[in-house]
Amino acid sequence: MARPSTTLNGYIGRQFLVWVFFMVLALVGIIFLFDTLELLRRTSGRHDATIGVVISMALFKTPYMIEKSIPFSILFGAMFLFWRLNRSNEIVVIRSAGVSGWQFLAPVIVLAMLIGTVNVTVFNPLSSAMLLRYEQMEAKFIRGKSSLAAVSDEGIWLRQATETGHYIIHANKVSPNEMRLENVIIFLMQNQDSFVGRVDAPAARLKDGYWLLENVKITGPDQPPRKLDLYRIGTDLTPENIQDSFAPPETLSFWDLPHFIAVLEAAGFSGLRHQLYWHSQLALPLLLCGMVLLAATFSLRQIRRGGTGILIVGGIASGFLLYFLSDVVSALGISARIPIVLAAWSPAVISCLLGAAMTFHLEDG
């Protein structure tokens, strides 16, 4: 069995990168167009949301869409590469030189895993920062309100708008089962930034439409402190929208996620969604390797045997099926039906094992 030359590896690698680049451009271009149209629809009737704002929002979201399209770009790019090599009989020439299928697959697999590694370690921090900016603009120009909740090493912060202004709640810890805040401080604000009072309490419980505080101390400018046994302050928050208001995992850098998860769980909230996203990022290089193997399975078959079009359609369908199953497994992981590690890594492992098994069969056949 001959060993493939550096020239052959370089040729196959360059062709693969070119096809992947064109696939990324095509997929992201289509997504950008439809996303812009959807943003125009959502911002219709808002005078402050100009066409420039809409285009800016779509551009800020583009790096995230590039990340989402990478698995499909790798799959389609590898399929078109192998199909072109097959159609031009270059694969026949390569095999006649004693190079096995696994040997000329090696540079493509290595490049796919390298793309996944660079995406996670370098591109993801940029993508998450720009997606965060998109989320902020969406909150301002579409939803008409900013994020309700934030979490840090000092505890949890909640913001609630009122008829005359807003108030900000700070708590050291949360008991999510009964939605109880501990060591609570509430800053009462009038208009935008006019401080009118402060409420201190050992705990606060979220009831239907209000926060209930006990053993309360109220202070404010130019007024003596007051103590109350019970104190109510209105709210439209629920446990669900508080949890949903924390920074989505996609807006956090891969490097920042472990600390954020630790802080979120220390505050008493579930970090399953963020853990799943972090593990799925770790599994991305392996998933891209599986995409290459699936592409080889469905596009390395000899043209003379016929049915190439059906095989290519089957490869595309398998990619979408894998994506659908990934969403199902992710939902099971977030709901704690299966372990997070299993939910995040199983699509990558299954695609690699399935692709390897079918490629072995193709080689032996």
pLDDT digits (tens, 9 = 90+) for 117-129: 999 999 999 999 9
The mean pLDDT of 120-146, rounded to a whole number, is 86
Q: Is the pLDDT of residue 201 over 90?
A: yes
Q: Dihedral sign, CA of 222, 228, 232, 237?
A: positive
C-alpha to C-alpha distance for 68 and 66, rounded to whole angstroms:
5
Which phi and psi angles does 149 have, rounded to 5°? -135, 150
| Per-residue confidence (pLDDT) for residue 317, from 0 to 100 | 81
12 within some domain: yes
Q: Is the pLDDT of residue 20 over 90?
A: yes
| Per-residue confidence (pLDDT) for residue 307, from 0 to 100 | 56
pLDDT tens for residues 251-306? 999 999 999 888 888 777 788 899 999 999 999 999 999 999 988 887 766 555 55
pTM exceeds cut of 0.95: no
| Per-residue confidence (pLDDT) for residue 310, from 0 to 100 | 67
What stretches of the chain show up as alpha helix (H) in DSSP? Answer: 6-42, 51-87, 90-96, 101-118, 124-138, 239-245, 257-266, 272-282, 284-299, 308-334, 340-364
Range of the domain at 296: 6-144+267-364
pLDDT tens for residues 168-189? 899 988 887 778 899 999 999 8
Highest averaged pLDDT of the listed ranges 43-47, 97-101, 293-297: 293-297
307 within some domain: yes
Domain tally for the chain?
2
CA 268 from centroid of its chain's CA atoms: 23
Q: Is the pLDDT of residue 86 over 90?
A: no
C-alpha to C-alpha distance for 297 and 364, rounded to whole angstroms:
12
Q: Based on the domain organization, do 135 and 10 belong to the same domain?
A: yes
The mean pLDDT of 320-334, rounded to a whole number, is 86
Q: Based on the domain organization, do 209 and 236 belong to the same domain?
A: yes
Closest CA to 299 of 321, 318, 322: 318
Q: Based on the domain organization, do 45 and 104 belong to the same domain?
A: yes
The mean pLDDT of 300-324, rounded to a whole number, is 68
Q: How confident is the model at residue 312 (pLDDT cuts 50, 70, 90)?
A: low
The mean pLDDT of 183-210, rounded to a whole number, is 89
Closest CA to 309 of 83, 16, 90: 83
Q: Which of 209, 242, 275 is the last residue of a domain?
A: 242
| Per-residue confidence (pLDDT) for residue 33, from 0 to 100 | 94
C-alpha to C-alpha distance for 351 and 287, rounded to whole angstroms:
7
